Amino acid sequence: MEKLTKEQFLEGQILLIDKPLTWSSFQAVNKIKYTLIKNLDLPKRFKIGHAGTLDPLATGLLIICTGKFTKRLSELQGQIKEYTGTITVGATTPSYDLETEINETFPTTHITAELIEQIKKQFIGTIEQFPPIFSAIKKDGKRLYEHARKGEEIEIQSRKIEISEFEITRIELPEIDFRVVCSKGTYIRSLAYDFGKALKSGAHLTALRRTKIGNFSVDNAVEPLDFEKIYKLDL
């Protein structure tokens, strides 16, 4: 990564960050923000933001914009995204991933590679998807996960999403690796849960990595701690 000046960041930059596992997107933005404040003497209220949240249990591409490029955040959020990950069949969790404990188990002996490839076709194109109850979508003024953690019953509306590519890259049951290209608003956790139901079993997401947003690739991204090393003041 080329080292930029204070003036360049204030004017506007697009930064490609590889978010580590267990970090929130907010934590990643804050690390970049305070690295720049401390080492380049940027004002504490300079403009900075990210284009699309990644769950703490996901890794990969987080686009961070500064200065006038923050005006492009909505445009960048709307671009198609590519993910890779692992679906584990035979069990579900309330959050559809590893954030919560397994709540139900299901048979898997009937699941074959042929069945997986056949069912996969149902998820390509425009489909209806229900967001997970453990998500940041607002309902009645509160985030869905706030309702979920209180055990409150809440009606969730489905939404139309577009999956243009869905490739199975490894089958080693109970694990199924995949690559998916999808529209804004797609929940890969919901895709994993729905895929398990379609297999007449259950499933949850056990690994997720965002690899692309539009033409931006995680191959060109840098981790927050490496970014900090680049901009650390010379002693």
- Taking a C-beta distance cutoff of 8 angstroms, is the pair 177, 85 a contact? yes
* pLDDT grade for 137, boundaries at 50, 70 and 90: low
* pLDDT grade for 1, boundaries at 50, 70 and 90: confident
Give percent of the chain with pLDDT exceeding 70.
89
> Which residue carries 């690899």 as its tokens?
211
Integer-rounded Cα Rg, in Å, for the chain is: 19
pLDDT for the residue numbered 132? 82
pLDDT for the residue numbered 147? 45
For residue 148, pLDDT beyond 90: no
From 18, 55, 97, 194, active-site residue: 55
Per-residue pLDDT reduced to its tens digit, 3-31: 899 999 999 999 999 999 999 999 999 99
For residue 235, pLDDT beyond 50: no
CATH superfamily entry for domain 81-213: Pseudouridine synthase (3.30.2350.10)
Q: Is 219 among the residues known to form the active site?
A: no
- Whole-model pTM? 0.90
For the chain, the average pLDDT equals 90
Q: What is the mean pLDDT of residues 48-66?
A: 95
For residue 120, pLDDT beyond 60: yes
* pLDDT grade for 51, boundaries at 50, 70 and 90: very high
Q: What is the mean pLDDT of residues 49-68?
A: 95
pLDDT for the residue numbered 135? 56
Q: How many CB atoms lie within 10 A of CB 110?
A: 9
Q: At what angle do helices 224-231 and 25-40 cross, to 10 degrees?
A: 0
Please name every residue paired with 217 in a beta bridge, in sequence order, or none if there are none: 212
At the topology level of CATH, where does 6-78+215-231 sit? Pseudouridine synthase (3.30.2350)
Q: For residue 197, which of 101, 99, 134, 104 has the smallest C-alpha distance?
A: 104
Per-residue pLDDT reduced to its tens digit, 150-190: 455 566 678 899 999 999 999 999 999 999 999 998 999 99
- The residue extents of the domains of the chain are 6-78+215-231, 81-213
pLDDT for the residue numbered 136? 53
pLDDT for the residue numbered 13? 96
